[in-house]
Amino acid sequence: MDLTPTMTAEAPRSDFAHQLERHRKIVFKVANSYAWHPDDRDELAQDIAMQLWRAFPSYDPQRRFSTWMYRIALNVAISYVRSHSQHDHHIVAFDAALHDVADEREMDAETDDQIRALQRVIARLDVLNRALLLLYLDEHSYREIGDILGLSETNVATKINRLKQRIRNDLS
């Protein structure tokens, strides 16, 4: 699927298209984390790409593009979930396979059951905790997560530790 929105100015178009292509996995990770049905994922990915294009003129090249992109993508996804979740129960599912919870090798039945249990726990998380977990699973530092979500590094550490404990309790 081509995510690049229709654009007018050639230089910004080229720079934006290059950055979007370079970091396109972020769009798909977020879309897959917040939408279950393929049509919903496509719609959300397009919404994210459009919002990225609209916000691109305000991007500060002094900051990491991926951090800026995650912030916008997660905000769009959270808004999408809030506006669609009353009508569509499949919007908030979490595609754990996208985050390499399991690698390419065949899994035994016990591992498969553990992954499914984790998916059920994650599917019940509110949108902020889901965003925290998505970024944590993508191995972002607490500082990066804070920058993306607008939280202090200490607040991120506290929330992640509570989230890990909650997941451990739910899985035991």
Residue 166 has pLDDT above 60, yes or no: yes
Of 33 and 74, the structure prediction assigns the larger pLDDT to: 74
Of 42 and 114, the structure prediction assigns the larger pLDDT to: 42
Query: Per-residue pLDDT tens for 112-123?
Result: 677 777 777 877
Which amino acid is it at 62? Answer: Q
pLDDT at 95: 43
125 phi/psi in degrees, rounded to 5: -70, 150
pLDDT band at 82 (very low <50, low <70, confident <90, very high): confident
- Average confidence score pLDDT of the chain: 78
Q: What is the pTM of this model?
A: 0.62
For 145-162, letters b (16+ CB in 10 Å) and e give bbbbbebeeeebeebbee
In the chain, the percentage of residues whose pLDDT exceeds 70 is: 76
